Structure 1
Amino acid sequence: MNEFRDSNEQDWPQLEAMKEQINQIVVPSTVEERIRNGMRVGRQRRRRRTVTRFASYTACLLLLIMVASVRFSPVVAAYVGDLPGLRSLVELINDDKGLELAIENDFMQPVGLSEEHDGIKVTVDGVLADESRVIVFYTLTNMDGRKRVVNLQKVDLATKEQMSISHGSSDFSEEWVSKQGTVDFNFHNGAEVPDILRLELKVGKDEKAVAGLPFWQFAIPIDKAKFEGLKETYAINKTVTVEGQRITFGTMTVYPTRIGLEVAYDPANTKKLFYFDDIRIEDEHGETFGTINNGVSGSTIDENRQILYFQSNYFRKPDRLYLRANSIRALDKNKLEIQVDPDQKKLLSSPDGHLTLIDVGTSKEDGQRILVFKLTNDNPLDEHRQYNILDMRFKDASGKSFESGMTGSSGDEFQYFIKKAKYQSPLTLTIVDYPTRIEGDIKLRMK
């Protein structure tokens, strides 16, 4: 990468001019309407489940916003400009400075594999990879221009490594020419990144539409020599107490594409700690590297231990690192379950007055019952947050376990779908996130 910079110093004025032109782009008035439509449709779509409780979901809204407001550094722009198919994908990682740094440091592996069926072409443009993670960049192209909703569906690997997968839909428009996205493969428990990533996927409107279709297959070569040995490990092993709740931060591993930090919660804590609102890593210059927003933000080890993932500063090589946090969403352990009688349309127990049951309906499509909750919440920290409040698993009065296949949200309302079956009321549902908090000033020296 240094060679690239030295040989192109004369091009910096042009790059700066290019950046200025990009900054002056006027966002079309239709984008706002597309965002609203994407939000409305996306909230009703089936939320994909992954192995980890903390897997994040790529929302169509976020991708539309990124497409409308791409602002990337001249260094990254110049680098990917010479890689076919990758220049337009920079916007997909624009909110992750660790991935931008990886690209600046020549970490992208171009691929360029394509398959075409029924007028739709899928191109695997390139990958970013290290020992814990592979991010696949892809492009969908509508070759015959037909009006149809098309996105990736049923994404998996032919070889069943221990991993989780995060991907999403870029939009649900019927009129489109091409669109880009990423698939994030996260390897767990010592599972090795393979030499050949044997990607399987289906392409269509939704999972039901592609049920009988064959998988599209891509054999993606991974140059493991490019990242061999590129990680740094630090033993933190420090405990903090916030409002009586003990939290221990264990080993921190810095990879080129992300940072993994082990966190353990004292089993004797009186509260269940869900998520940190503002946890971040800060260097000696005050530059912060936050959690992963567009991908997998964490993984569960067991009931009281997890790994949190942060944007990587591997290529920054800071002299000092600090862990900072001020607010944690948490709830008393004796308030983690709620009871609902769907026949009587009553919420029999709730953690507080903010969560109420406002309706019990039935889906015309498949006859599922829909529990509609309202969560009243005026905390500024939650202004733009959509809560996935409840675990997908629930029990009936006999103690038998069932599983919901779908949830949805719209504004302050949350929908929970109950498959058709014989249940004994009331149903017991478990809270997995809630907008009540504990607060404190965490600042730990980590390097």
Structure 2
Amino acid sequence: MKIDETIKKEINEVMDSIKAPSSLYEFVKNIKEESEIRSDLEKLKARKNSWRKNQFAATVVDAVKKRNLRKRSTISIIIAAILLISFATSIRVSPVIAKTVASIPGMERIVALIQDDRGLIAAVENDFYQPINQSQTINGVTVTLDGLIADKKGMVIFYSISSDRFSENIGWKHIHLREGFKKIGSEYKSFTQPFPIKFNQENVFSSSMDIEYLRGETPDSFVVALQIGDKVEHFKIPFTYEKKNVDSKIVEVNKVVTIEGQRITVKDIVIDPIRTIVRLEADPNNTKKFLLNSFDELKIVDDQGEVWEAENGISLQYSSEGKFELTLKDSLYFYEPKELTLSFGKIAAIDKDEAYILIDTEAKKFIKEPSNSIFSNLKAENGKVSFSINVNENYDTVAFNQFIDVNGKEFSIKYFKTQLMGKSNFVNGSITKLSDDEVKFEFELPWQSYGNPIRFEIDAYPSWIEEDVEIKIK
């Protein structure tokens, strides 16, 4: 949303002259129509200690919007919104964001959701946010598609769920997008058992769904299934939107770095309005396997000291063997840095000849495991196999998605509240916390025939390359 340059100039002049308030109370008590505002403030003060930051931000901004300050100028309203959002969320809010909040119903919820994402904040400032505000109500529960941010490749969907009934009886069944009758399958989320929705004190839940890739698809409906009491209700909200016709910005790099003998090529940086991806390629002759959380410490720094970091734990996607894509926490599409430096930090990797375990379920023992193994206490009884995994605060628990028998037959592992789409050979599995430093992994033996030993590939493990290397990429 654009602001007239004259108004923008006046806003900036007024903002420069404002002394930051020492507290929200000191700011609000000096605004005109004091008695009405103080009444609102007292209500907020009585409840704010139990609110989370984003709920507090949304309610304060909503209070400003609802007040009947007809005598106040547009500029004063925007400045008030800027100061209130900044105080509540500890972020700098531009006049563009403040005016957007003042003009679009429910926009304060969106700001609360994206306040830590500079890329999405910049996308809103550059008029990429598209309000939808379409709802459907069934059995006292309302699902609202608030709006979206979209580019050529993907989108971020913002939605909310509200209820006038006992919210603890409401849980997820599935949520996805459709194009006609076709599910946008890669973003389909489903649960075999209802997954509870955590509502705020106003019985409202707000969230977003990131659609990373739309391969020529144009979603036209938002579909949600909720368990409401004993019944599953299906919500379907049709919508239309505009794909912003902007091209990716490509920073070509093609530089090879060697880190403790392991060669990695930084191919390029692909920058879009809603995400930035670093594309890497490992030398097939490397002696180590890069793990799923390999580059959690990767970051890019510009000439002004601004830092863009990897999205820890979920950033790495393999496009093919040895080639992977790393998503940054926020996009730098709307920034124009003169220089960029990339550093890797600590890299998660394990020797290739230790990147798996072999188990003989009949002999009830490990045939092969890493030299610094974190696995122990193997048991095979009553049609189930289990073993302990040592963990600590420095790394996540190791989990396995499948195993392969000696004949190459694959068996997927199905965990509670998940569904395996298109998998015929699977067994049920679970991970149970035994203590702060130990979990138990357990899975059922297949009812189909299989041959020993069975092999588990290690994709996450507490093994690192400690050397840090940085390179100039722009």
- TM-score of the aligned structures, taking structure 2 as reference length: 0.70
Q: Distance in 2 between matches of 1:250 and 1:166?
A: 32
How far did residue 166 of structure 1 move? 7.5
Corresponding residue to 2:405 among 387, 393, 396: 396
Describe the SS at the equivalent of 2:120: helix
Query: What runs of 5+ residues in structure 2 fail to find an aligned partner?
Result: 28-43, 53-87, 416-429
Change (3 A) 1:268 1:105: same
Unmatched tracts of structure 1, length 5 or more: 32-68
CA contact (8 A) 2:355 2:457 kept: yes
1:386 to 380, 396, 407: 396
CA distance, structure 2, for counterparts of residue 375 and residue 124 of structure 1: 43
- Which residue of structure 2 aligns with residue 5 of structure 1? 8
- Following superposition of structure 1 onto structure 2, how do residues 162-181 of structure 1 map, counting pairs within 5 Å? 163-164=186-187, 172-173=197-198, 177-181=203-207
2:443 equivalent to 1:418: yes
Aligned to 2:456: 429
1:301 pairs with 2:319: yes
Question: Residues 440 and 180 of structure 1: is their aligned pair in 2 closer, same or farther, counting only changes over 3 Å?
Answer: same
CA distance in 1 between counterparts of 2:121 and 2:254 reads 30
* Residues 1:97 and 2:115 aligned together: no
- Secondary structure of 1:90's aligned partner: helix
Q: 1:239·1:247 contact (CA, 8 Å) conserved in 2? A: yes
Retained in 2: the 8 A contact 1:356–1:374?
yes
2-side partners of 1:233 and 1:22: how far apart?
Answer: 48
| Aligned mate of 2:108, from 87, 103, 108 | 87
The question of whether the paired residues in 2 share the 8 Å contact of 1:132 and 1:186 is answered with yes
Q: Match of 2:216? A: 192
What amino acid sits opposite 2:386 in the alignment?
A: L
- Tell me the SS of whatever aligns to 2:239: strand
Is residue 157–residue 200 contact of structure 1 (8 Å, CA) maintained in 2?
yes
Query: Distance in 1 between the 2:177 and 2:290 partners?
Result: 31
Distance 1:361 1:125 in 2: 51
> CA shift at 1:118, angstroms?
2.2
The residue type equivalent to 2:315 in the other structure is S
Alignment partners' CA distance in 2, 1:19 and 1:157: 47
Could you say what secondary structure the match of 2:212 adopts? strand
Identity %: 24
Deviation, 1:306, is: 1.2
- Residue 396 of structure 1 aligns to which amino acid in structure 2? D
Question: Cα deviations across residues 337-386 of structure 1 (Å, max 9, x unaligned)?
Answer: 11235566644432134412346599xxxx99473532244xxxx53x53
Bigger relative CO (Cα 8 Å, ≥ 6 apart): 1
Give the aligned residue type for 2:164. Answer: M
Q: 2:473, 2:235 → 1: CA distance?
A: 44
Which residue number in structure 2 is paired with residue 272 of structure 1? 289
Distance change in 2, residues 1:340/1:18 (3 Å) = farther
* Paired position in structure 1 for 2:142: 121
Q: SS of the counterpart of 1:319? A: coil
> Could you tell me how far apart the structure 2 residues matched to 1:316 and 1:149 are?
42
Q: CA deviation at 1:285?
A: 1.0
Cα deviation for residue 97 of structure 1 reads 2.0
Structure exhibiting the larger radius of gyration computed from Cα positions: 2
CA contact (8 A) 2:300 2:343 kept: yes
Query: How many residues are matched?
Result: 390
**Structure 1 residue 182: deviation in Å?**
1.0
Aligned counterparts of 1:201 and 1:413: Cα–Cα separation in 2: 37
- Is the CA contact (8 Å cut-off) linking 2:361 and 2:380 kept in structure 1? no
Q: 1:151 to 1:81 in 2, by over 3 A?
A: farther
TM-score by length of 1: 0.74
Distance (Å, rounded) in 2 between the aligned partners of 1:136 and 1:300: 24
- Deviation, 1:390, is 3.5
Contact 1:148 1:174 in 2 (8 A): no
> Aligned equivalents of 1:19 and 1:88: distance in 2?
23
- Distance in 2, Cα, partners of 1:315 & 1:431: 39
Structure 1, residues 176-201: CA drift from partner, whole Å, max 9, x if none? Answer: 6111111111116xx2352x443333
Aligned-residue Cα RMSD (Å) equals 3.8
Name the counterpart of 1:36. Answer: none
Partner of 1:60 in structure 2?
none
- Which amino acid is 1:121 matched to? T
Larger fraction in helix: 2
What is the CA distance between 1:163 and its match in structure 2?
A: 4.5
Residue aligned with 1:441, SS: coil
Cα 1:170/1:297, change in 2 over 3 Å: farther
Residue matched to 1:201: 224
